[in-house]
Amino acid sequence: MAEEEEEAAMEDPWIDALEESWNQMSKARDFLKTETCNEVAAVIDALFKSQESSEYKSARALYECCVAHFADFLTLKLLKAYRNCSTSSLLRFRMIYLLSQATTELRSRNFQFSPSALRDVKPLVISCLEMEETRESDIKILRRIVSFVAYNVGMLEEGGWEELNGCILGLTDTSPCRAFHVFLDVPAVCDDFITLPVIQRVYDEAELVLLNAERVGVQDWVLAFQTVVKVGVHAADSEMESTLMERIRKLADDAVKKGKGEFVDRGLQDLKTFLARDGSLSKYNKEQRTFVAELAFKIASCRHESKKERKKVKSEISSVLRKPNMYGHDDDDDDNDHIAGGFEIDWCNHLSTLSSPLEILRIFAVTDLEESSREVAIRRLNLLLSDHTTKKVVIEVSVMRQLQPLLISCLKEDRLSVSDSMFKVLGEVVFHVANEVLSNKEEDTWFDLWDYIVSQCKTQFEKAVYIFQCLTMRLDDMDILIPEITLKMIDSVRKLVERGGMEVGVVRRAFTDLEKVVNKQMKWYSKSDYGFVKGLLSRLYAIKAMKMESRMVLWRINAIVERGVHDDLKE
């Protein structure tokens, strides 16, 4: 009897695991049967929350079960949801990113769609490519999904994929760069998968981009360059090969003559990444490898007079072509992160399409979003606002004012959910917004910001000082507020010094921040500014029990002020 009980106890873990697996598959079936977009969105959004959250863990288990057991239905579900369900560009991005990750896994295990699923998937993919709402950042992800579907079409069907040819042809008329993206990731599953008229049309559009190097950005030029190289791969070992090679060399030489030599350098560098990916999906034959290597040598001649340098470029390209799967796996390879791609690159591409600062800040304000996603978002916003401050782009002051209340909310967020690196960038964002609204002729003193600084002096002194020192612009008409803030800060310093151990870290870092502020602001100090800083230093120095190390920072600041301010202003 005892032996039977022991055997039963040993079987329990297996039974539990089997029941859990069954339950998970039942949940997956229910999810795939859902008709409403809200249910799909809830699972998708949960997959981008903190990985420690229960919502993420539950959604991840459900999603992995779908990928493992119901890949056909998951693909259809996400493509339909992308096309029909959401007006949110963020949700659409998440859907296709997850699907692209799934197709990568499915390809690695040689998964093939069922014939019935493939018939349904093909028109869905085409409709997603042709949607007006589909952004170029989405196309960069969709192209990987198209590649996997095209591979399945080549394996399971005869006669190519006519609708894809028509889609690429249509995109060359409306959005050539989108056509280039799709064309580049179509695997060479058979010789006529992409028809000759389509290849010719794509080449003509890519050549137009390359001929206008002075009018296009480097990314579009490099994309077009990769496209003509891919056309060359199709033409290798044909009567067109030598003519095409010389034509591409002349296009590169033309860019150099127009002063865009860096486009060619970037093109050759990024070509390695493209060839590694394309060579892994479509095994290049000897003639194709020879063509690309010789082409790289000829293009390198446009930038390098030394034959040794040209041979080096050719050797690097040849190395990638021989072992495409190995490229990027060397720890010392500068392109390791780039070829690895992953979420951050796709996320950056998505954020770069958002021209509204408020939209990006709203993404950052979602506190349960995974930390690295939030950090990329706030850095993107800082870059966008920095371009406004340096007059590279124009953002209306009304838009800046929309950012103010949400920024204060982000500043007040629990420090545990905002890393030091994120808070630092957030302070720079505050500067850009304050610089715009406080310098505007219409009265806007942003009282909420000053209230925040005063209140934080009592609770989180370092945060208050950091935000205050970010405001390095001239603050006119702030005579009433500045003294109040200053007195609060001095009082906070006094209390921290009286506590003893707090001074070494917190106070000294605050004084170092103050030193940075004085250095930045010295160029516009007036007589009143000089008097204010001298009075502030005097009050801080008068605090009893302050350690000598802290006083030395104050001495340095005083020396900076005395050297930097003209004698006429000291009277």
Predicted local confidence at residue 510, as pLDDT: 74
pLDDT band at 22 (very low <50, low <70, confident <90, very high): confident
Q: What is the pLDDT of residues 251-308, one digit of tens each?
A: 999 999 999 999 999 999 999 999 998 888 888 889 999 999 999 999 999 988 888 8
Q: What is the pLDDT of residue 340?
A: 37
Distance (Å, whole) CA 14 – CA 17: 5
Greatest mean pLDDT among 37-41, 456-460, 472-476? 37-41
Give the confidence band of 561 by pLDDT, cuts at 50, 70, 90: confident
Gap between the Cα atoms of 32 and 9, Å rounded: 35
- DSSP-based three-state secondary structure for 412: coil
Band of residue 171 on the pLDDT scale cut at 50, 70, 90: very high
Predicted pLDDT at 332: 41
Note the pLDDT of residue 480: 43
On the question of pLDDT at 424 being above 60, the answer is yes
Share of the chain above pLDDT 70, in %: 84
Is 481 a residue whose pLDDT tops 60?
Answer: no
Q: Which residue has the higher pLDDT, 29 or 327?
A: 29
SS3 of 49, please? strand
Residue 185 CA to residue 475 CA, distance in Å, equals 54
Q: How far is residue 274's CA from residue 394's CA, in Å, rounded to a whole number?
A: 35
What is the pLDDT averaged over residues 311-330? 83
pLDDT of 382: 92
pTM comes to: 0.76
Q: What is the pLDDT of residue 528?
A: 63
Query: What is the mean pLDDT of the segment spanning 47-68?
Result: 91
- In this predicted structure, what is the pLDDT of residue 336? 35
Residue corresponding to tokens 């009050």: 539
H and E: helices and strands count for the chain: 28, 0
For residue 131, pLDDT over 70 is answered with yes
Name every residue whose Cβ is closer than 8 Å to that of residue 445 and which is 6 or more positions away in sequence. Answer: 438, 477, 478, 481
pLDDT band at 339 (very low <50, low <70, confident <90, very high): very low
- pLDDT for residue 341: 47
Distances (CA, A) of 406 to 91, 365, 469: 21, 8, 20
- The CA distance from 332 to 88, in Å, is 39
The answer to whether the beta carbons of residues 180 and 206 sit under 8 Å apart is: yes
Q: Is the pLDDT of residue 527 over 80?
A: no
CA 46/CA 281 separation, integer angstroms: 32
Return d(Cα 213, Cα 254) in angstroms, integer: 8
User: Is 540 or 59 the better-scoring residue by pLDDT?
Assistant: 59
pLDDT tier at 464, thresholds 50, 70, 90: confident
The stretch 3-32 carries a mean pLDDT of 70
Q: Where are the alpha helices (DSSP H) in 258-356?
A: 261-281, 286-300, 307-322, 336-340, 342-352
Q: How is 75-94 classified by DSSP, letter by letter?
A: HHHHHHHHHHT-S-HHHHHH
Beta bridge mates, 49: 369
Question: What pLDDT shows up at residue 472?
Answer: 62
Which pLDDT value is given to residue 485?
A: 65
Share of the chain above pLDDT 90, in %: 37
Q: What is the mean pLDDT of the chain?
A: 83
Residue 375 has pLDDT above 80, yes or no: yes
Range of weakest confidence among 279-288, 329-338, 509-518: 329-338
Confidence band of 174 (pLDDT split at 50, 70, 90): very high
**Residue 17 scores a pLDDT above 80:** no
Q: For the segment 347-362, what is each residue's pLDDT rounded down to a tens digit? A: 888 888 887 899 899 9
